[in-house]
Amino acid sequence: MELKKRIFERAEHYFNYIVKIRRHLHQYPELSFQEFDTTHYIEECLTNEGFQFEKPIETGTTGLLRNDPGMSDTVALRADIDALPIEEKNEIEYASKNKGVMHACGHDAHTAALIGALMILRDLQTEFNGDVKFIFQPGEEKLPGGAKKMIDSGVLEKPVPSLIIGQHVYPDLPAGKLGYRPGPYMASSDEVYITIKGKGGHGGIPHQTDDTVFFASQMIQSLQQIVSRKAPPTIPTVLSFGKITGNGATNVIPEEVYMEGTFRTMDETWRAEAHALIRRIAENIVASGYDTQVDVSIIKGYPVLMNNEDMTRKCMEYSERLLGERNIETLDIRMTAEDFSYYTQKIPGVFYRLGVGNQSKGIESALHSSTFNIDEEALKTGMANLAWLTISYLNDHNAGDTS
């Protein structure tokens, strides 16, 4: 039987079991770095299927599917396992049982699909040479990011993978389709905190105060020049403030105004320059206030996610052979962020999207929304494609044949 057909046959064979895993995870979501029960359940599944693993960090799991230890090539497959602080509104039998916590970003599907892919690869070990490292990673949704913690623990060592692959659900694509983007794909993400302090007082006599609210409004407008006038026009850049707090009143100018925002871009050099500009502009704005002070804190978040150009194009070709050219799309860049970017700073990486939408079933809600869900038929595509990419890549590097 042709290898592609065998992969799909295995995906179909394991489908109901993988759906069961996904639904269990969906019912019992846990927040970043608190995924204790999630990790225990994943490890039970791995043990039941005969996979050996280790725990590099408390809620992280990794292991190696050995398939000719003498070969130099290893592919790493990563799935994130944490959930979000969102109250689920879906009326489904497997809705979240943990109040205020929900798998609204599809990490339950990522985890289930990776387990399914490992089972397929185990069954088809005679079809390829090389090892497969699997990574079930906590804390993607929260700084400093579980990827960084896993890397620091040595997850990309002994052996060092020559490629790492990450799969992420995408409701904008119908189930059965995949999306790729060679090169820069997702933005860096930094948190900006600004505190303005000055002399408060009566709103009716503002000339006797340092009007902190006025300075805050001026600061927001002036900082937008970083995007409109300072950013190179070829580099996507976003600066947004989502929180401003000043505990004054209609007739009280507060002594302190607090602002929170996010800065995102697609270039690391410009990112550093922009940080300096944010500080400089903020300091200049309050310079005219006699007693006014400003404190700017910028917490560096995830770096730009750089998909390896050659490997991503090669994986697109592999997926076209598996699913047909019409089911593979080229994605636009996104100004959202992903800690998979830390892996791509160390080794070649490919981060792609798995279509999970289905308008006819009413499955259209966006990621991070209280009604997000997936067409579970997409799990077949997800586990099949992960297995196919792994086999295709290893066989290409070891002069094999995936026809």
CA distance 235 to 225: 15
Concatenating the DSSP letter of every residue in 264-324 gives EES-HHHHHHHHHHHHHHHHHHHTTSSS-EEEEEEE-----EEE-HHHHHHHHHHHHHHH-
Do the strands 256-265 and 237-246 form a parallel or antiparallel pair, or are they unpaired? antiparallel
Q: Please list the residues that pair with 105 across neighbouring strands.
A: none
Cα–Cα distance measured from residue 134 to residue 56, given in angstroms and rounded to the nearest whole number: 12
3-state helix, strand, coil in the chain (%, to 5): 40, 25, 35
From first CA to last CA, the distance across the chain in angstroms is 11
What φ, ψ does residue 237 adopt, rounded to 5°? -145, 140
Phi/psi region, residue 100 (left: phi>0; alpha: psi -120 to 50; beta: rest), is left
> Is 376 an annotated catalytic residue?
yes
- The active-site residue out of 185, 302, 318, 393 is 302
DSSP 359: G
Please tell me the total number of residues recorded for the chain in this structure. 403
Backbone angles phi, psi at 200, to 5 degrees: -85, 180
Q: Are 132 and 74 in contact (CB under 8 A)?
A: yes
Q: Give Cα separations from 150 to 108, 227, 343 (angstroms).
A: 19, 34, 10
**10 Å Cβ neighbour count for 23?**
17
List the 237-246 sheet strands across, edge first. 237-246, 256-265, 190-197, 293-299
Who's near 205: CB < 8 A, 6+ residues apart? none
- Residue 302 annotated to the active site: yes
Name every residue whose Cβ is closer than 8 Å to that of residue 326 and which is 6 or more positions away in sequence.
none
Q: How many CB atoms lie within 10 A of CB 335?
A: 16
The catalytic residue among 14, 180, 376, 393 is 376
Q: Which residues are catalytic?
A: 302, 376
